[in-house]
Each structure stands twice: as structure tokens, then as C-alpha cells.
């Protein structure tokens, strides 16, 4: 069997929702090694504050790789204060072209309260069309649920929480122990 290109992507669920002037990023706490749950309370959503500008980030994939990328993003944001899109593009360019960074297996959802972006190792910086985005093994389940709930009166946080609950019911690599960060 051929090795999957990015096997670390199949072990978590992260969702980002922008609604009502707020952005929420939520992630589950399960860490799996193969078919074994190693930990159920990991924090895969974090707040960073480079230069005093608040940014929330969620990651799927290898934890060490994601932390390396978050550190790089923080440095890019310090160089371009208040310009999340520009810092994200610079990170994606480095990630795509740097021999060391190319080996990193993770994806990020980031927001400063205005922008909501997904950053990938393929050099992509994507803004969702429907103000909902999700990554990880349960990402498609959470994304579908979130899109379905966007037209309701639910808040951004409620959409994120309910979407994550649906993903946790379907995806064996996702649990209901959530970390939720709000900005905006």
C-alpha cells in the first residue's frame, strides 16, 4: 500500500464559522495513533497575539508540525502587523518552497475576526465562500452541518458546537471534548 501524502490530516476535526460579526474556531480534543485513542483532551485551537493583534488558529495534522507553522505565522504577523492575509500568503509561499517546511504535515484555519482563512502546505490560502470552513478527518461532516445551519438564528458559536457534535457522532477520529475560541 502506498503511503498517504499527508496521513496526519486524518486525526481531528477543526471548524471555523463567521457569523454575526464574530468568528469562532472550534476543535476536538482527540489524539489518535492508528486505531488507538492516545489522549482525549488535546488543545488544537489556540490564540496568538503577535504585536498585540489577536489571531485564533486551529490545526489538523502533526502537532509538532502545526506548532512550527504557528511559530512561523506569528513571525510573519509581527513583520506585517494587522495583515493576516498577507502573512498567510507569505507563510504558504515559504511552506511550499522551503525544503524543511515542505515535509510538514498539517493544515491551519486562522482568523483575526475579519478574515477567515485555511492555509495548506500546497501553497493555498483559501477564504470560504459560505463563511464556514473545516479541516481534518471529520472536516467534511462538520462543514456540511455548519453550512446547513448558517441560515438559522443560531450564533457562530452554536453553529460551530453543533457542527462539531455531528462530526463527533460520525467520525471515529473526532470526540466531543471541544476547545472553542471566539474573536470579533
120 labeled part of a ligand binding site = no
SS3 per-residue string spanning 70-123? HHHHHHHHHHCCCCHHHHHHHHHHHHHHCCCHHHCCEEEEEECCCCEEEECCCC
Question: Does residue 12 have an active-site annotation?
Answer: yes
The catalytically annotated residue of 12, 120, 133, 182 is 12
Is 174 annotated in a binding site? The answer is: yes
Ligand-binding annotation for 171, yes or no, is yes
Rounded to the nearest 10 degrees, what angle do helices 63-79 and 84-97 cross at? Answer: 130
Phi and psi, residue 82, nearest 5°: 75, 10
User: Which residue stretches of the chain are H helix?
Assistant: 63-79, 84-97, 139-149, 156-170
Positions marked active-site: 12
Which residues are documented as binding site for Na(+)? 168, 171, 174
Amino acid at each position: 500500500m502506498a503511503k498517504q501524502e499527508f496521513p496526519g490530516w486524518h486525526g481531528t476535526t477543526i471548524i471555523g464559522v463567521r457569523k454575526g460579526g464574530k468568528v469562532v474556531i472550534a476543535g476536538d480534543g482527540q489524539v489518535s495513533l492508528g486505531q488507538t485513542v492516545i489522549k482525549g483532551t488535546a488543545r488544537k485551537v489556540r490564540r496568538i497575539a503577535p504585536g498585540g493583534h489577536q489571531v485564533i488558529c486551529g490545526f489538523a495534522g502533526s502537532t509538532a508540525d502545526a506548532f512550527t507553522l504557528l511559530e512561523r505565522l506569528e513571525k510573519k504577523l509581527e513583520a506585517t502587523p494587522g495583515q493576516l492575509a498577507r502573512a498567510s500568503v507569505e507563510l504558504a509561499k515559504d511552506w511550499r518552497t522551503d525544503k524543511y517546511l515542505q515535509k510538514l504535515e498539517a493544515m491551519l484555519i486562522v482568523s483575526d475576526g475579519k478574515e477567515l482563512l485555511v492555509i495548506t502546505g500546497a501553497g493555498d490560502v483559501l477564504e470560504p465562500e459560505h463563511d464556514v470552513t473545516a479541516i481534518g478527518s471529520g472536516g467534511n461532516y462538520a462543514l456540511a452541518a455548519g453550512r446547513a445551519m448558517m441560515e438559522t438564528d443560531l450564533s457562530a458559536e452554536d453553529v460551530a458546537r453543533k457542527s462539531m457534535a455531528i462530526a463527533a457522532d460520525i467520525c471515529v477520529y473526532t470526540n466531543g471534548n471541544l476547545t472553542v475560541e471566539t474573536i470579533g
